Amino acid sequence: MPVNTQSDHACLIVHGSDKPGIIAALSALIARNDGNIVTFDQYSDDAQGGAYFCRVVFHRPNFAVAVPDIEADLARTLGEEFDLSWSLADRSVPKRMAILASKQDHCLLDLLWRHRRGDLPVSIPMVISNHTTSADDVRSFGVPFFHVPSTPGPDKSESEAKLLELLAGNVDFIVLARYMQILSPEFLDAVGVPVINIHHSFLPAFIGAEPYKKAKERGVKLIGATSHYVTGDLDEGPIIEQDTIRVTHAESAAELARRGADVERQVLSRAVLWHAEDRVIRHGNHTIVF
């Protein structure tokens, strides 16, 4: 069983307008439903009616049987009395994560390796790529591989329709592991699940091919990576995680690219883990990460 998937454990996410009594109400609700709080993280950006965010993990014997009663209580207490939004997840059920990839395989293979080790609490129903270069590697992990070539030209509707046939209703979120295609707003609306991307942190500088060569030419001293949720605005979605490392004039463009790939792997794996564990709450165009 993957790490951090726990039987009879639930994760409750709450957000809305802050007001007195929320924590007391949450604690009482869990107690009267025979639950025991394991972790409780909360944040308010303004005590005077600001935005409130909370993540609670609790244990409740025979949780699956109790879900209808707990959800009804949540609707009454949090929804009606406090006008808060909430979601409840069974921690024993891993999220279904699809991976989209292209020729660069460093992030793809890293996620598959971490999953095989039990470091990511997800299932991987499929990997889809617009190239076949990684097919054998993916299948060696026991994961189904699908090849969906990218439609030539700016109109990607044909290839996106094929992606939707594979993805729609079969996954809980999607990871773009250096998938070098832009997804249309229409595709994002149709697929209906969160999409996580990873890219180097030079953006909006050094757009296009060979960013590390351009960085070398400019004498860049910091390189890094950004993982974010995908929206209809290219590379402007809510950021989940970032990291940087220092580099020097002595490193070649190839060395910069290699070190950059290491950062991309680490940043993406952390973003995926935090999303899979319901640690990330989206609020406008930024995130709260517990």
Q: Which helix (H) or strand (E) holds 86?
A: strand 85-90
Query: To which residue do tokens 């935005």 refer?
Result: 51
Provide the CB-side half-sphere exposure for 226 (13 A, CA).
13
Query: To which residue do tokens 């793809």 refer?
Result: 108
Provide the CB-side half-sphere exposure for 74 (13 A, CA).
19
Helix (H, G, I), strand (E, B) or coil at 262: helix
Which residues, at least 6 apart from 231, have a Cβ–Cβ distance to it below 8 Å? 188, 237, 238, 285
- Letter for the amino acid at 46? D
Query: To which residue do tokens 């020729």 refer?
Result: 103
Q: Please identify which of the residues 235, 243, 262, 278 carries the catalytic annotation.
A: 235
CA distance 117 to 114: 5
CA distance 263 to 244: 7
Q: Sign of the C-alpha dihedral, residues 100, 106, 107, 109?
A: positive
Phi-psi region of 259 (alpha: psi -120 to 50; beta: other; left: phi over 0): alpha
The 8-class DSSP code of residue 76 comes to: I
Burial class (CB in 10 A: 0-12, 13-18, 19+), 128: buried
- Has 243 been annotated as catalytic? no
**Active site amino acids:** 235
